[in-house]
Amino acid sequence: MMDHDLRQEELVSHIPALRAFARSLANDASHADDLVQETVLKGWSNLGSYTAGTNMRAWLFTILRNTFYSEFRKFRREVEDVDGKIAAQVPDRAAQDGVMDMRDFEKAFAQLPADQREALTLVGASGLTYDEAAQICGCAVGTVKSRVNRARARLSEILGTNERTDGPAAATPV
């Protein structure tokens, strides 16, 4: 099999992760899949410029992220909570009955700013290191850690969990 075919196969293997990352950014399944399509098209046509042996998932995540933010700047498609519609969906504090379900979590997660959602997703779910996440986001490692901490604190506040954000250890686990 030719090297190019192998790269195409690898690209296809990253699509599920791309969809999950896109969903965290776009907050909307249909928009997320549009982003993935766009990313696949760009990645496919630029496979020649991908350096073999490097992290293709990180490369594709960067393309997807750039696509999202460039689109965001152009069309402002992300829903702004001007009418408090999202806030109105926020669950009662989970601590009231000691139970949170995934829907509660997703609603809370959707309230976070995009940069915090992406930091949490990249480091906390996709298995990337802080260094890799920082490269994808085009910022310093400390910025990623700070976004993760702020996101966790906000989620904790909304969901009523006990979150510690003080001290250096708070930035490490996700």
List of residues contacting another protein (CB under 8 A): 8, 12, 15-17, 19-20, 23-24, 33, 36-37, 40-41, 44, 94, 98-102, 105-106, 109, 120-121, 124-126, 152, 155-156, 159, 161-164, 173-174
d(CA 50, CA 68): 20
Q: Judged by CB, which is closer to another protein: 50, or 105?
A: 105
Q: Are 36 and 64 in contact (CB under 8 A)?
A: yes
Q: Judged by CB, which is closer to another protein: 88, or 99?
A: 99
d(CA 48, CA 107): 40
Question: To the nearest whole angstrom, how small is the minimum distance from the Cβ of residue 174 to another protein?
Answer: 6
Question: To the nearest whole angstrom, how small is the minimum distance from the Cβ of residue 173 to another protein?
Answer: 6
Burial of 16 (0-12, 13-18, 19+ CB in 10 A): exposed
Q: Judged by CB, which is closer to another protein: 58, or 155?
A: 155
Q: Are 29 and 23 in contact (CB under 8 A)?
A: yes
Q: What are the phi and psi torsion angles at 48 (to 5°)?
A: -65, -25
Q: Judged by CB, which is closer to another protein: 84, or 167?
A: 167
